[in-house]
Structure 1
Amino acid sequence: MKNKPKLKIFLNVLLMAVMIGVVFYVVDNSLSDIFAQLMKTSAVVAVLVVILGVGYQFVEGQSIKEIVESFQPNFTMTDGFFTSCYVAFYRIVSFGTGTLVSEVLFYRKKGLAVSQGMGVTALHMIMYKLAVIFLAVLGLISQFTQLYESSPKMIPFILAGMIITFLIVFAILALSVSIRLQVLLTVWANKFIKSQKLRDWVDKCNIQIYSLRDTVQTIIKDRSALLRIFFWNVAKVLIWLLIPYVALVEQHPTIDLLQVLSYTSFSIVLAGVIPTPAGIGSFEFVYLLLFKPLVGTVDAVSSLLLYRFSSFVLPFLIGMVYVMLIKRREIKEEIIAVREESSE
């Protein structure tokens, strides 16, 4: 039993060392272009990009708080802020595979049951998707003529992306509201799906949907809660959409704000339905396809890299500091516990 605390310290130190190694690998191989672009950017644009990135995290923190406080009244906007950064860190160091697990784990540390954490994570994702669709629809309405003239072939893809995203959200919400529908899906899956991997996937979906049902039913007791959550999600997505405009307006002072907001929202919608890891490659592809005719290849790539820094790298860096401080505190507490044990 005496060796157990020492083993725990060793494992924590090892985990911290592995994390640091992965961080250096990712920064050197995947994020170097983004940092290089940031160094070439004017100080004013760089500061604005950082402000928008940090501002997004605070608004995201408020949107998470609105969901979680139904289960944990002591959960604050600051907790929500660090939830987002914590998840951003693990999204990168796990190469996308640990995103959902890390979010549920964070909620668990804040006193939520695992099922509640899964429900909060699912509702968080759904409200984000609804906000993106809402803004993309407004963007398509306002920019349809311009888009038809510059990139008419993109319109069917944008519409398809919106429809697919909406159908996914609608299906999840329908299953979460109707137990009968979920039972029918389970029976159908058991009868017709023979692949064990697919059956396991259906089982995981059922657990998440069950958790989501409990979450939604808890939150809708406050009739205004869903509207508040939706509002904060729209606000956070709008901040994201502003980043490319800030990155481009210095070199292109006549660029249209609504057009930039709309094109960025289209990129986010399509990135969510094109199957690539974490939606990164698909977002870049659509973004460049839309913005190259507008501002040229060089400026389109530059604005994309700044967008990635603000929305992707900055929360990762904040999350990295947060996680390292937590690990340092845990190791320190374990060392103190071992010393106290040894002195007895």
Structure 2
Amino acid sequence: MATLPLTFEYHIMIHELYLVAGIFTVLVTACDFFYTTVSFNGAGVLAKSISNGIASLFLWTNKKTSSRYLLKFSGVTHILAQVALWISLLWFGLFLIMMSDPYSVLLAPGGEPASAINKLYFSGYVLSTLGNGQYIPNDGGWQIMVAAFSFAGFIFITTAMTYLMNLTSAVIHKRKLSLFISNLGETPEEILANSYTGNGFDRLTSVAPNLQQMINEHSQNHYAHPGVHYFYSIPRSESLSLNLTNLDEALSLAQTHIKMDTPFDQDLRPLRDTIDKFLNTVQHHFIKKAEAEADAGPGIQYLQKTGIPLVKQPREQPGGHERRVLLGGLLQSSGWNWNNIYNPDGN
């Protein structure tokens, strides 16, 4: 006789565990989903973890194969994996909640309690509709809960679609910015040479305000749509990590190698500060610091042929090494390296 109460208490405990685990899973999933999609503060813990894992896999494959072909699938893989994770966890959480009561879901014809498989099927069905009538929630609180989850599923789908549309716009903006910089030159030396008019760097200074605005917008997109970083590009002209590093290195060359009687440094200081803010954004979420290769350096001979006034002894750049470490991390986070900057034809 003593075994019956013990068995009863055991089943009660199991059902309570189902309920607690289900509520916890749903809350964690909802927090991660809404933090990623509408908080404008970066990705949630779950989304960030799965993104880091997928990015590491793609970049490892790129390094081993020396081909960027597979990188073009990175962005869509990240998005599909995140959405699949959120849907699976929300589905599983609702299933656990329904498992906390043997009579939470009933078979419509006779009112018999549904099996675990039936509840799993019904849980998935509820997230998109209110069901097809084959299975029904029990009276009382279960009916309200099913209606609430059906509404939550609708909100989830519409929010995810809005997020994906905005993410698409962010990716397009990223590539437009990259092409904008690439049109100035494909290497740091080319950017300076193409901008020099004999009296200054008028071409670069004239587009600096537009570049500042576009870089600031892209920097904010990293918070609003974290997945934008993982949409890698195969052509050099469309890779922002590569072209932004080219631009920043051009500014560094101007500070260290060009005579100060030119108005370059003063006119483009705001642009440099804008790049600083972008690097500060990505270093906390997307990149790891990486030392520059010893043989990667500017081609001063190329600049000498253009007639740009150069100093005999390069000046020191405060914080220059730390800056290049961050830029090296930015390059590596997109499958590039410093040799792609100063030796593009050799890769």
Same fold (TM over 0.5): no
Query: Which is richer in helix?
Result: 1
CA radius of gyration, larger in: 2
Q: If the TM-score is normalised by the length of the shorter chain, which range does it land in?
A: under 0.3
Q: Which has the higher contact order (CA 8 A, sep 6+)?
A: 1
| TM-score of the aligned structures, taking structure 2 as reference length | 0.21
